[in-house]
Structure 1
């Protein structure tokens, strides 16, 4: 007797790029589409606050680019494309203005703002993907707990509470953001 099995159809980064959006957002994880849930107002406000403060600092110092929900192609065959809530990419690593498609490689800084329904295992998977592919600093923001966990490329991590200050460390030296400003 022959057994019939259904094979997974893997999607490439190029196919994802050309897909009609129909109002939905996706990431691609090892060839499989993962639909991203729309975010709520708290999440959106925090993303704007971080992006605005980062962008002001990055522009003032001519360091590179602050981006929101930009796709980064981390792996090939099967492809992985992740889209951080907010990211920073140094100008040396930025593709040309006329580049089509996703940014090849990982951002220097990844900011993930966690929604209430997100599973910790999925968050950790994202953090590990970014760090494994060259991200030097990851900020995981938990609005409901009013905390930020800072993950570094050297494998260390630190939990910051509302009374602490977020720093750009060696990725954005001199950048600071008091968490009271972020969560107010």
Structure 2
């Protein structure tokens, strides 16, 4: 199992947003995130099964979004700049169109300084559950309205919402997008079949 690695450069330097962006651009084969403390997190690549499942999940959101035209869907390679200074790349994310349209062309081109309305984190064998749960909590603290932590191995979904306890759903077959993703329903059989 390949774990993520966290590098703390605080005693040497603090990377500016532009420097972090350039570091990511110079290392396109390495998935990097930055936490609120400025530490660089090196994420391992996903394996074939996780990558295949992530593509299936993303495609479901793309199809729904093309039909509804309510916002923009982003894959796991998109890095967002959060108000707390973190740079995060959820596995799937979605932003309402009117919020996305408030950004300038330059902001959209680099790491958009906006918190998605919705995110998914898909657990892979290399992920640490407690770290991923903390990341989900950070998403909600920073302004995400709805988040799903999907754990295929345990056939479990943790649902995160602002101001509410985490809801745990086990072996469910459907997951609704509530009032955030109007009319969206995810058939979880695509997830459970892959395990």
User: How high is the TM-score relative to the length of structure 2?
Assistant: 0.83
| Residue segments in structure 1 that go unaligned for 5+ positions in a row | 1-5
Q: What is the rounded CA distance, in whole Å, between the counterparts of 1:152 and 1:164 in structure 2? A: 20
Alignment counterpart, residue 136 of structure 1, candidates 130, 142, 145: 145
The equivalent position to 2:72 in structure 1, one of 59, 65, 72, is 65
Residue 21 (str. 1) matches residue 27 (str. 2): yes
Q: How many residues align?
A: 177
- C-alpha displacement of 1:137: 0.6
Residues 58-102 of structure 1 deviation map (CA, whole Å, 9 limit, x = unaligned):
1101101111021111135xx210001110111111134553321
**Contact 2:50-2:124 within 8 A present in 1 as well:** yes
Distance 2:172 2:139 in 1: 27
Work out which of the two has the higher radius of gyration on C-alpha atoms and give 1 or 2. 1
SS at match of 2:82: strand
Aligned residue in 2 for 1:54: 61
Equivalent of 2:112 in 98, 103, 118:
103
Deviation for aligned residue 1:165: 1.0
Residue number in structure 2 paired with 1:89: 95
Q: Distance in 1 between matches of 2:164 and 2:44?
A: 29
Q: Per residue, is there more strand in 1 or in 2?
A: 1
TM-score when scaled to structure 1? Answer: 0.88
Q: Secondary structure at the match of 1:75?
A: coil
For 2:164, what is the secondary structure of its paired residue? coil
Task: Could you tell me which runs of 5 or more consecutive residues in structure 2 were left unpaired when the two chains were aligned.
Answer: 1-9
Contact 2:137/2:160 (8 A) holds in 1: no
**CA shift digits 1:97-136 (9 cap, x unpaired):** 5533211121011110112232223112211111011100
